[in-house]
Amino acid sequence: MIISIKPWLEKADQPHHALLHSQSREILTGSAEKGSGGENPKIKKQGGVIQMAQKQDFYHESVLAQQVLDAMQPVRGKQLFDGTLGGGGHSEMFLERGAHVIACDQDSEALEYAGRRLERFGDCFLPVKGNFVDMDLILRNLGIDLVDGILLDLGVSSRQLDQAERGFSFRKDGPLDMRMDSDSVVTAKDLVNDLDEAELARIFFELGGERRSRGVAAAIVKARKECEISTTGQLAKIVAKVIPKTGSKNPATKVFQGLRIAVNREMECLESGIKKSLDLLVVGGVLAVITFHSLEDRLVKRFLRRHSAPFLDRPEWPEPKVNADYCLRLPSRKAITPVREELQANPRARSAKLRVAVKL
Ligand SMILES: C[S@@+](CC[C@H](N)C(=O)[O-])C[C@H]1O[C@@H](n2cnc3c(N)ncnc32)[C@H](O)[C@@H]1O
261 Cα to the center of ligand 1, angstroms: 13
What are the phi and psi torsion angles at 310 (to 5°)? -65, -30
Nearest Cα residue to atom 5 of ligand 1: 86
Residues 240 and 103 in one domain: no
pLDDT tens figures, 27-42 = 333 333 333 333 444 4
CA atoms within 13 A on the CB side of 265: 21
Q: Which amino acid is at 163?
A: Q
pTM strictly above 0.85: yes
Domain limit, last residue, from 218, 240, 264: 264
Same-domain check for residues 53 and 131: yes
Residues 267, 275 contacting (CB under 8 angstroms)? no
Regarding whether 96 and 45 lie in a shared domain, the answer is: yes
Domain assignment present for residue 303? The answer is yes
Answer with the one of 264, 297, 332 that is the final residue of a domain.
Answer: 264
Range of the domain at 176: 168-264
pLDDT (mean) for 122-136: 98
Q: Where are the beta strands (DSSP E) in 15-111?
A: 25-28, 43-46, 49-52, 79-82, 100-105
The average confidence (pLDDT) of the chain is 87
* Judgement on whether residues 230 and 295 belong to the same structural domain of the protein: no
* 21 pLDDT above the threshold of 90: no
pLDDT band at 246 (very low <50, low <70, confident <90, very high): confident
Residue 22's CATH number:
3.40.50.150
Q: What is the CATH number of the domain that holds 179?
A: 1.10.150.170
Question: Which protein residue has the closest C-alpha to ligand 1 atom 14?
Answer: 84
Which residues lie closer than 8 Å to 266 by C-beta, 6 or more apart? 154, 155, 260, 296
The answer as to whether 68 is a domain residue is yes
Higher pLDDT, 151 or 57: 151
Of 214, 232, 264, which closes a domain?
A: 264
pLDDT band per the 50, 70, 90 thresholds, residue 248:
confident
* pLDDT value at residue 58: 78
114 with 63, same domain?
yes
Inside any domain, residue 259: yes
Q: What is the mean pLDDT of residues 198-209?
A: 98
* Residues within 6 Å of ligand 1 by CB: 60, 62, 83-84, 86-90, 104-107, 110, 131-133, 153, 155-157, 180, 269
Give pLDDT tens digits for 83-117: 999 999 999 999 999 999 999 999 999 999 999 99
- Residues 140, 245 share a domain: no
Cα–Cα distances in angstroms (integers) from residue 45 to residues 31, 49, 125, 167, 349, in the given order: 32, 5, 24, 34, 17
> Average pLDDT in the 4-22 region?
30
Q: Residue with the nearest Cα to atom 9 of ligand 1?
A: 87
Pocket test for ligand 1, best of 113, 152, 157, 268 (most atoms within 8 A of CB): 157
Q: In terms of domains, do 286 and 144 share one?
A: yes
The partner residues of 159 in beta bridges, in order of sequence, read none
- Overall number of domains in the chain: 2
Please give the pLDDT value at position 249: 87
Ligand 1 atom at minimum distance from 87 CA: 9
